[in-house]
Amino acid sequence: MALKTHGTMAVDWEQRIDFDRLRRDRLARAKALLAKSEMGALLCFDMNNVRYITSTHIGTWAQDKISRFTLLPQGDEPILWDFGSAAKHHQLNCPWLGERSRAGIPLLRGAMSPEMGRAEDVARKIRIELEMRGLHKQ
């Protein structure tokens, strides 16, 4: 006897995967764990963690590049930095992010030389967000 399956594709005639709930629940779990911690924010560069918190994905080609990052401030919503074109895509197609998808890339796992100042640029962006929320000393 075959097992009944609804498949993995979203359709309008059956309740299958509730992607809105999936996004809400993932973020709620991350926020709850952050609230129990002594950290002022969670900063993620790993693509799996970025996807979990922001529900965004730019393809498996970027899996090991450290090309995007997200900041989840205590008591606030996540902020995502990505390639300019990807950030624009998220603004157009990821309404759950609101205005919190921004252009900006880190060191790309060392592909950019230290003289380019990428690390300092990333640190400055993060510090600005933390200062705006009074979290920069935590």
First to last CA, the chain: 58
- Domain edges within the chain: 40-132
Domain made up of 40-132: CATH architecture: 3-Layer(aba) Sandwich (3.40)
Residue 131 has pLDDT above 90, yes or no: yes
Q: What pLDDT score was predicted for residue 125?
A: 95
Q: Give the model confidence (pLDDT) of 64-106 as tens digits.
A: 778 899 999 999 999 999 988 999 999 999 999 999 999 988 7
Q: Give the model confidence (pLDDT) of 30-68 as tens digits.
A: 999 999 999 999 999 999 999 999 999 998 887 877 889
Please tell me the pTM assigned to this model.
Answer: 0.88
Task: Please tell me the distance from the alpha carbon of residue 17 to that of residue 9, in angstroms, as a whole number.
Answer: 8
Encoded amino acid at 1, one letter: M
Task: Please tell me the distance from the alpha carbon of residue 31 to that of residue 37, in angstroms, as a whole number.
Answer: 10
Residue 1 has pLDDT above 70, yes or no: no
Closest C-alpha to 87, from 104, 66, 109: 104
